[in-house]
Structure 1
Amino acid sequence: MALFLGYDPGGKGKNGVAAIQVVSDTPKIVDKATVRDAAEALSWLQAHIKTAVALGIDTLLAWSPKGGRACDDALRRKYGGNSIVAQNSLYSSMTLNGAIVAKRLGLPVYESHPKLLLRVSGENAIREIYQDALASSGEDHEGDAIVAAWCAARLLYARLNHSHFFKSMGPEPSCPCWPGMADRDRHRYTCARRTPDCATPAATGRLCRARC
């Protein structure tokens, strides 16, 4: 059965990793851990890569060269709260470790925003799994990695089914940075994961997909 991997990058000893399966439309934890750094996270994820089909990461996978990201601005307007942090306010360990693992692992990669999803989603199953992980480890790194993997699973399935999982947010638009980014804004972003067959730059937004 296919695995979906998740990574919550952080500082020393604060990198969460997870592998999940989707059984009857419900996440099932296969493995999870908190590791020292990006190197250990990469090794852990590579050990589970044989049947993995996607990676979800709780960090930025695209940056704006000027001002804030349009996708972050759109989510902040729609949902409020303080979990949507400006790109220049994030710790470098989060942004650098995430980019390193995304680049080297070689899977389709999806940016996620676990705290926002848990706040706005009506899914009790993933919320309960997150709370169990939080209770068992005492910190949120593994829980965030689990939710990141769940985001990757749902968004990949949505892509394959040509319908967006977050139906209450409206139909899936053409722009890869969703929601809130107009096509005219794409040039402000560059893709963190370019491949030879990538036709155009692509940006990702929180709770959004990116496969480039």
Structure 2
Amino acid sequence: MKKQNNLWIYFLTAVISIGLFGTTIAPAYAHTHDFHDEYDQLDDETKAKVDEVLSSLKADLKGMGIEIPQNKFHEQMEKLDDETKEIVKAIFKDKKSGKITKEEAHKKLTELGVEPPEHKKCKVFENLDEATKKKAKAIFNDKKLGKITKEEAHKKLAELGVEIPKHPMHESFEKLDNASKIKVKERVEQAKLDLQELGITLPKKFEFFAE
């Protein structure tokens, strides 16, 4: 049940949350929001240790057959110095609050040498007419606000012909045999403990494997 809820969190974030630049930034940041808030508070030495734990985890999971999507913009952020990161975050904040337009934000990012995030259109609504799209978005919103349950939302969406897409990592996990699934869970659990010792929580995108 919790795994399905995680899929909802991932999907709802991508579909209806108002991200910094539409739906593009949201998947990269919203689903690991707690982690990044905690990460920003760490000293440089601890950050390096956290980076090492996560880098090792991703490499091991990939070797076990788990597909880990790469976000070009997120990779850019990881390579920036701390001062530039803070400037980029300030630009995002101004864009989100409406102080600057998307175009102005893109210009500021470009001046910093940062390539603005690409806008990826959500394909789940691609073959729906406008009336059905409106109904589907209303269902997503009701589920997010807690007005209806996950089961009720699934039923309503099915009646509209809308299917919830699976996260690539979760989908690749489901294709593994039971022995491999256990190894993946054990590896993620170890990383979770390692991060806890460093005073930081496991990024939410990996929680699916730790349950």
Shared fold by TM > 0.5? Answer: no
Higher strand share: 1
Q: Which has the larger radius of gyration?
A: 2
Higher helix share: 2
TM-score normalised to structure 1 length: 0.25
Give the number of the structure with larger relative contact order, counting CA–CA contacts within 8 Å between residues 6 or more apart. 2
